[in-house]
Structure 1
Amino acid sequence: VDVGSWVFWQAPANAKALAAPVWQDVTTVMDIGIILGALLAAGLAGRFAPSLKIPLPSLIAAVLGGLLLGYGSRLAYGCNIGAYFSGIASGSVHGWLWLIAAYCGNVVGVRLRPLFFAGERPATALSGC
């Protein structure tokens, strides 16, 4: 797919970013660093155990969650730092609206969770304790 023909990539700054090598994009390098750091931390802790045995409901939940997060970040023009924290710190109403929308989304997500994880206990950060 030639994404260079999309309207988004026609803007001069976006076209320049698309033409540049991946390692020249600060966000991409940071994301790769986060992933490698997490892999290293898991390996050093003896917890690195990748598995492709992903239950279908978990896979569906992950895909839907990822799509909703991506769509939401485009609507909000940023993530929790840019749209939420900076908005509230600057006294902008949009930060408080972001908080309300995030809270409502979390309530809906928690209530839908049993549909995706019925019969299995989802992993949590404290599951090893």
Structure 2
Amino acid sequence: MNKVFKTALVGAAVAVTSFGLAQPALANSFSKNVGDGTISYTDSSDSFCVQAYNSEGARWVEVTLTPVNGGGPTRTIRDNNNYYGHSGSTCTSLATAYEDTYYRASVRTYWGENGSTVSRGNTYFYS
């Protein structure tokens, strides 16, 4: 009986220690250069922002946010630079998404000097 008690006590200690060392929520903040601008996510405010660089003529950055695991809203946002009269960033809230929703951000950019629209691929993150 004493051996069973010790085994149970060690098992409980391992479980408590594992729980104490468990990873925090998976959401993360980031900022990323996407060629003609930047994209960023701020976890503390659940805010996703897009900003086109304010140089070298007309530019825009467009992002479609899609929940991969179905736990939040889909959004498409575009930021036009100061050539179009807008020098700041454009943001959207993901506050209505379930905690730790896994998102795909599909990015496209435009640079007016050479008239090209470019797919910049996907970035994945947790909200």
Under TM normalisation by the shorter chain, which class is it? under 0.3
In terms of fraction of residues, the more strand-rich structure is 2
Higher relative contact order (CA 8 A, sep 6+): 2
Of the two, which has the highest radius of gyration?
Answer: 2
Name the structure with the higher helix share. 1
